[in-house]
Amino acid sequence: MIEVKVIGAGLAGCEAAWQLAERGFAVKLYEMKPHKKSPAHHCDDFAELVCSNSLRGDRLENAVGLLKEELRRSGSLILSCADATRVEAGGCLAVDRYGFSGMVTERIRNHPNITVLAEEVTQVPEGPVIIATGPLTSDAMSDAIGSYFGNSEYMHFFDAAAPLVTLESIDMEYAWFASRYDRGSADYINCAMSRWEYQEFVRELANAQEAEVHGFEDKNIFEGCIPVEVMARRGVDTLRYGPLKPVGLRDPRTGQEPYAVVQLRRDNAAGDIYNIVGFQTHLKFPEQRRVFSMIPALRNAEYVRYGVMHRNTFLNSPQLLDHTYADRRNPLVAFAGQMTGVEGYVESCASGFVAAVSMAARLRNEPIPDFSRRTAMGALGYYISNENAVNFQPMNINFGIIDPLEERVKGKANKNLAIANRALAYLESMRKEETP
């Protein structure tokens, strides 16, 4: 049995290890937890979700919804565990944070072809290996990867996580359960703010004291995860057109649309912990309590976790990796996850999947599966490996990087759905070709 090493048991590493093991390879999965943790990690389980507990939209008209469906149909471990630990969140796939990680850990540890080694790897091993140590790769391993690529410079951006509060501490006199436009079940707690309350809040937020983060500059923030205080500094109405938008929500006390609404999303299956949606932040902890208590429903909130900020590191992938996430010089050394420049939980899982099935094909001297730019999984691989990229930055999946339709379809939703159906049909044709 051929042995393959996988370094890192995050979402990408676990998905890669599972796919290789399912294909008959002996996998050694290295994970430095529990002996050593990054600043953003708290539990000992694998595939820990450190920012949001949401895997985002689940409709096929949404690019990440398509990506999830592609992974489901391809036998993804991560999507299987996510669906099994789902908590209600309107049109999003949100999970019980600890239930999800616990299930992934149990399935990985119980697979007969996977051996887990609890140790930090500080050198790039000889292939075959998939390195998925994440955007918070340890200093020693980060230096080793730099040396492996000839001291090629990493790039980096700053990422942030939102606070968590207990349900019992939310003042429901100023909040209510509902989903936007009353779609589906009432899965969000909505905290109303008047015009005066909102404007006072924005003023204090924009001037609140930030925690020191080495090298932090607003320009280095990933646009998909902007700290709430940075948005406040961009203009008084920025938040009202972003995470605090009131559109589609009516306060049952007044029957009217509030001036602004802070939404809270359930973070665990028990429903006793809620995530403040869009409130990624790097304010000092006392400042978070002071400023966020200006939201009427949160004036006495109990914080299970304050928001945190950390630097995420990623490779200059277009110059280093091919569309299967493999080293252009030595394809038996591959990388996966956010360190490659894909952004998001589902995208990380997809990179681990593609890296693993491609590695498996190489080791068996079989043709490398070409997911192509017609699928969301393939489009991500081609995005991170585009040698003509200028100012390469991490990217969430979006329809803009997937091959456009050859025919014209009216309406954005109809067009996106047609692209999604074409992608799923392409995957089905690949599956039939692989079936003996």
- pLDDT tens for 88-147 read 777 788 888 889 999 999 999 999 999 999 998 999 999 899 999 987 788 888 889 988
CB 335 within 8 A of CB 62: no
pLDDT digits (tens, 9 = 90+) for 419-435: 999 999 999 998 877 65
Q: Write down the residue that tokens 């616990």 correspond to.
A: 102
Q: Maximum CA pair distance of the chain?
A: 67
Same domain, 319 and 414: yes
Domain boundary among 310, 343, 366: 310
Give the E-state strand segments of 91-239 in sequence order: 92-95, 114-117, 129-131, 155-161, 164-166, 175-178, 188-193
Instruction: Report residue 35: phi and psi, to 5°.
Output: -70, -30
Query: Tens digits of per-residue pLDDT, 287-313?
Result: 999 999 999 999 999 898 888 777 777
DSSP sequence for 214-258: TT--GGGB-GGG--HHHHHHT-TTTGGGTTT--TT--BTTTTB--
What is the spatial distance between Cα 143 and Cα 120, in angstroms, rounded to a whole number? 14
Q: Identify the domain containing residue 299 by its residue range.
A: 161-310
Confidence bin at 215 (pLDDT 50/70/90): very low
Give yes or no: residues 282 and 366 share one domain. no
* Confidence (pTM): 0.76
Do the bridges between strand 54-57 and strand 92-95 make them parallel or antiparallel, or are there none, so unpaired? antiparallel
Torsion, Cα of 233, 238, 244, 250 (10° steps): 140
User: Residue 249's Cα: distance from chain center in Å?
Assistant: 27
**Do 132 and 13 share a domain, yes or no?**
yes
Domain count, the chain: 2
Residue 416 has pLDDT above 70, yes or no: yes
- Out of 258, 285, 310, a domain closes at 310
Please indicate, yes or no, whether residues 216 and 285 belong to a single structural domain of this protein: yes
Helices (H), 3-138: 11-22, 63-73, 77-84, 97-110
Find the CATH number of the domain harbouring 136.
3.50.50.60
Locate 405 and state its tokens: 């339709």
What does each C-alpha distance from 389 to 60, 327, 382 come to in angstroms?
28, 17, 11
pLDDT band at 44 (very low <50, low <70, confident <90, very high): confident
